[in-house]
Structure formats: structure tokens, C-alpha cells
Amino acid sequence: MSRNETLSSAPPSTFRCRHFTMTLSTTDIDALKPGEWVTDDVIDFYFKYLKRKYFPESKKYVYIPVTLANLLTERALDNSTDHLRELASDANALDLTSQILGRPRTIRVAFLPIFGDGHWSLLVYRNQKHKHLPEFLHFNSHLNSTREYHTQCARTALINLLYVFRQNDPSMVISKDSYKLVVKNCPQQTNGNDCGVFVCMYAYVLSSRLARREAKNRASSMQDIIKRISNISFNGPSPQQHRSDQQLSYATKNPHKDSSLDRDDLMWKVKDKDVMPPDDMRARITNTIYHESTTSSSSSHTQQTSRL
């Protein structure tokens, strides 16, 4: 009996995500074993998981699905009116469920999985209020052999993303000089099959940092409010008398705000000490799928085991 026949007689389970609409198969689970290439659906699942875990209600942090990222990467650059209208229409059609492109000015950070020539990398969009131009950070785990080609893939994707932003919000000004692309030095893979794992790992490290910063900022804002209230001084009549006679004085602004801006770039540096071994990351993603999903079997499903 062939391997395919054996698997056909034992239908695999499917993994239906409990918190968002997505179903994975044992093909996806098998792709997380050491030495295998992770599937598009695994990357999509993990990006959706990071969004739900760290920023479930925030519209400032978005995770672009693989199908939409592929469109932005593969569509030839063309700034003609008809092309831009078609590009935006196709992108918005793929974005119907999440609707993350409709209000681009609200987006502070976007994660895009970039695929080209059999290799994955991560592109991160940063729209910072204190900087004039949006910044794109490119994390490539195989710089020695794919730097030139994948940097071009990232550049195509980011320009098309900005084109879509402009179509959805005509007040945005987009030109060849309206962005900054930075190729980041980051941990590198040592084989030919861990690129997708590294994309998930980069996104995990950066997302967790951003979430900690958001929590710290919220706590700092609350402390600042409490401090301002506690520093209100009432001069003249007592609070029981006419409120119009009260003189109010407030504490000064947070002295740590400017220094925090100086440290902002440090959080976007991913070093070897920040990541785990790729096989450990594979196990983490696998356990996350098990934890976040319910399983079921399909007797009509036939597993295909051949890989290209």
C-alpha cells in the first residue's frame, strides 16, 4: 500500500480556529516540522493570532494577510489612473473581511509577509507622528543570497501599498520620495527552509515589544493624570465657596517624553539574543494552533503528501 493510500484511509483532522474564521489542516501542521517549509496559512494564522493576542481592539496595528501582500508584491508598478484604480479595487476586495486599508491614516504599524522566488521576508510599515515620512523596515533572514531581489520585492509592495492608501484617502501625498526603506540587520537562518519561521519570529518579537510599550504608555498617561489632579492647588476661597474664584495650577509635561522618542529606534532592532532557535519557534506555533483551535475529521478529505 502506498503512503498516499494509507493517508487516504485515515482522514486527517482539521483545526478550526475558535477566535477568528480560519481552518488549518494536518498539511499545515506537518509543514511546521523541522526541515519543512511553512505554508501560507500558517503565516496567516500566526499573524491573526498576534493581532488577537496583543491588539484585539486597536486599529493602529494591522497584519496584512498573505493574499493581499502577494498582490502588492506581484503587481507591476504603474502610476496611471486606470492602473491605480484597478489596484485599489483588487486590494480592497481582498480586504473585505478585515477592512484594514479603508482608513490608512489611523494605521501606525503594519506587518506584511513578503514572498518571492521561494523565500519569505517581513516588511514593516511605520507611520510616526513625529516624523514627516513613513518608514518601511525590511527584515530578511537570508541577506547573503536574497538581499537585492527581496529588497526589490519589498520596494514594490510598499509603493503599491502607498498607492492603495492614496486611492482610499486622496488627501495623502505619495511620491517616490515619500517613504524611507531600511534593510535591517537581523538574525539569519542557517538553512534553506526556515524563512517563514523567521518571518513569524520577527513579527512575534516586534509585536510583543509594541504591546509592552502600549501598556507602559497607558500606565504613564494614567499616572500623569493622577499627578496633575494631585498638583491642582486652590488659592483663595475654599472649594465650598464660589468656584469662579478658584485659581488652578497644573504640573508640567512629562519630562521623559522626549527621551522616549530617542529610544524608539532601539525597539526595532532584532538581535540574536532576542530570538529562539527556529525549531523551538516551530513548536511554539504548533502548540498555539492546538491551543487556539478545535479539531474535527473529514472522511471525504484526501491528504496529498507530495511537495514541490
**pLDDT (tens digit, 9 = 90+) per residue, 235-281?**
555 444 444 333 333 334 444 444 554 567 788 999 999 999 999 99
Q: Which of 15, 20, 51, 98 is nearest to 200 (CA)?
A: 51
Asked if 117 and 145 touch (Cβ cutoff 8 Å), the reply is: no
Asked if 12 and 297 touch (Cβ cutoff 8 Å), the reply is: yes
Say what the pLDDT of residue 303 is.
38
Torsions phi, psi of 52, nearest 5? -65, -40
The Cα–Cα gap between 201 and 218 comes to 26
Residues whose CB falls within 8 Å of the CB of residue 161, separated by 6 or more in sequence, listed in order: 72, 110, 112, 125
The Cα–Cα gap between 36 and 16 comes to 22
How is residue 110 annotated by DSSP? E
DSSP lists the bridge partners of residue 297 as 13
Q: At 266, which amino acid appears?
A: L
Q: In the structure, what pLDDT confidence band is assigned to residue 296 with cuts at 50, 70 and 90?
A: confident
Q: Which of 92, 118, 108, 149 is nearest to 40 (CA)?
A: 118
pTM tops 0.85: no
Say what the pLDDT of residue 229 is.
63
Asked if 217 and 257 touch (Cβ cutoff 8 Å), the reply is: no
C-alpha distance from residue 133 to each of 61, 78, 249 (Å): 18, 21, 37
**pLDDT (tens digit, 9 = 90+) per residue, 138-161?**
999 999 988 999 999 999 999 999
Element containing residue 279 per DSSP (H, E)? helix 278-292
SS3 content of the chain, % helix, strand, coil (to 5): 50, 15, 40
Put the strands of the sheet holding 23-25 in their side by side order: 23-25, 13-17, 293-297
Q: At 245, which amino acid appears?
A: D
Determine the 3-state secondary structure of 79 from DSSP. coil
Which value, in Å, is the radius of gyration of the alpha carbons in the chain? 24
How is residue 243 annotated by DSSP? G
Say what the pLDDT of residue 291 is.
93
Asked if 4 and 14 touch (Cβ cutoff 8 Å), the reply is: no
The mean pLDDT value for 102-111 works out to 92
Say what the pLDDT of residue 120 is.
97
Say what the pLDDT of residue 42 is.
97
Say what the pLDDT of residue 27 is.
94
Strand pairing class (135-139; 109-116)? unpaired
Helices (runs of H) and strands (runs of E) counted in the chain: 9, 8
Q: What is the share, in percent, of the chain residues with pLDDT greater than 70?
A: 75
